[in-house]
């Protein structure tokens, strides 16, 4: 069995306590509860321990909350909430580079110690504990959903947050709305000792990863894998095998890791989808992981793409 502990943003021990959501709607009920803090999708992290900062309900940073808190669940007997303070404007803030793969700029809030920073989650994905990774990813995805779904899709009126952040209701037509999760297939395609990797135009130079794409309505995982590979590279594949999944809050995806063997090998890329694609051998990937290959930078550790590639290279994943 594969060890999925090396995958970021997933954990199986945290108690989401869904049965308490109706009773926890609104402000935090007790100073004994803990809150994690997000600012524009970044989480407040302790730089010394790489742990999510947890504050009590009377902490001054919570006065900057722009929406009602979200009840995430119970960890070690303590109720945990998430607050979004995206309305806060840091002094001398540098806007992120919208063309970069992710935002490496960190910010410090005046009410917290110097070692506590707002960090892009992908920068600390391998340092966060399993519980902290799941808490942060859940909060980020939910706050993103609230920002983009403020109005009822049925009648257009503004909806209201309910169920402690896990639902929105329309007060006019009474339609309930629930957080969305977008399924994405990501696949390791092999041909003997080599695998098919591609790169998007906006990625860092020389970075290559597994092919991926969103599922379409009425489509199975197997059909989506075959379609995406064919559309992007003109490669045909055999039977599809499910491997593992990973929540990916950018903004609300579920990455469904699969693998299959190629039945054709000539690549013809779709320039609207990829900047490049190529077959890469295990030997090249071993060098790339060690940093000694100047031609390719593989998917980073903690991502499901990196998980698929590394396990295949090690021989713990095969068709």
**Fold equal for 4-177 and 182-314:** yes
Fold adopted by 4-177? Nucleoside Triphosphate Pyrophosphohydrolase (3.90.79)
Distance between CA 53 and CA 44 in Å, rounded?
A: 6
Q: DSSP letter at 159?
A: P
Tens-binned pLDDT, residue by residue, of the chain (319 aa): 677 878 888 877 789 999 999 999 877 667 789 999 999 999 999 999 999 999 998 899 998 887 889 999 999 999 999 999 999 999 887 777 766 667 888 999 999 999 999 999 999 999 999 999 999 999 999 999 999 999 999 999 999 999 999 999 999 999 999 999 999 999 999 999 999 999 998 888 899 999 999 999 999 999 999 999 999 999 999 999 999 999 999 999 999 999 999 999 999 999 999 999 999 999 999 999 988 887 898 888 899 999 999 999 999 988 7
Angle at 306 between CA 304 and CA 307, to 5 degrees: 60
Contact 232, 244 (CB under 8 A): no
56 three-class SS: coil
> What Cα–Cα distance (Å) separates residue 230 from each residue in 196, 221, 223, 243, 273?
12, 14, 11, 20, 12
Q: Among residues 272, 252, 223, which one has the least CA distance to residue 41?
A: 252
Q: State pTM to two decimals.
A: 0.93
What architecture is the 182-314 domain classified under in CATH? Alpha-Beta Complex (3.90)
Q: DSSP letter at 295?
A: S
Cα-atom radius of gyration of the chain, to the nearest Å? Answer: 21
Parse the chain into domains and list their residue ranges.
4-177, 182-314
Q: Which residues pair with 188 in a beta bridge?
A: 259
């Amino acid at each position: 069995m594969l060890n999925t502990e090396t995958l970021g943003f997933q954990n199986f021990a945290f108690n989401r306590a869904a049965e308490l959501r109706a009773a926890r709607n609104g402000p935090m009920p007790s100073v004994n509860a803990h809150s994690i803090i997000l600012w524009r999708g970044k989480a407040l992290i302790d730089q010394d321990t790489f742990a999510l900062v947890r504050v009590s309900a009377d902490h001054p940073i919570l006065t900057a909350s722009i929406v009602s808190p979200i009840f995430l669940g119970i960890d070690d007997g303590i109720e945990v909430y998430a607050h979004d303070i995206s309305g806060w404007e840091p002094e001398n803030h540098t806007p992120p580079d919208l063309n970069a793969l992710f935002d490496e700029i960190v910010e410090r809030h005046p009410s917290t110690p110097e070692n506590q920073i707002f960090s892009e989650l992908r920068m600390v994905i391998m340092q966060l504990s399993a519980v902290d990774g799941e808490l942060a990813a859940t909060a980020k995805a939910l706050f993103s959903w609230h920002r983009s779904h403020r109005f009822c899709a049925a009648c257009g009126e503004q909806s209201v947050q309910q169920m402690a952040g896990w639902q929105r209701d329309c007060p006019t037509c009474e339609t309930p709305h629930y957080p969305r999760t977008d399924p994405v297939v990501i696949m390791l395609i092999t041909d003997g000792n080599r695998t098919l990797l591609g790169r998007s135009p906006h990625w860092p130079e020389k970075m290559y990863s597994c092919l991926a794409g969103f599922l379409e309505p009425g489509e199975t995982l197997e059909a989506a894998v075959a379609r995406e590979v064919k559309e992007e590279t003109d490669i045909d594949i055999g039977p599809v095998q499910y491997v593992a999944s990973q929540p990916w809050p950018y903004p609300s995806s579920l990455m469904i890791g699969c693998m299959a063997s190629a039945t054709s090998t000539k690549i013809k890329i779709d320039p609207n989808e990829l900047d490049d694609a190529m077959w890469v051998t295990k030997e090249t990937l071993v060098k790339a992981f060690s940093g000694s290959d100047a031609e390719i930078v593989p998917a980073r550790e903690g991502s499901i793409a990196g998980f698929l590639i590394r396990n295949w290279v090690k021989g713990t994943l095969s068709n």
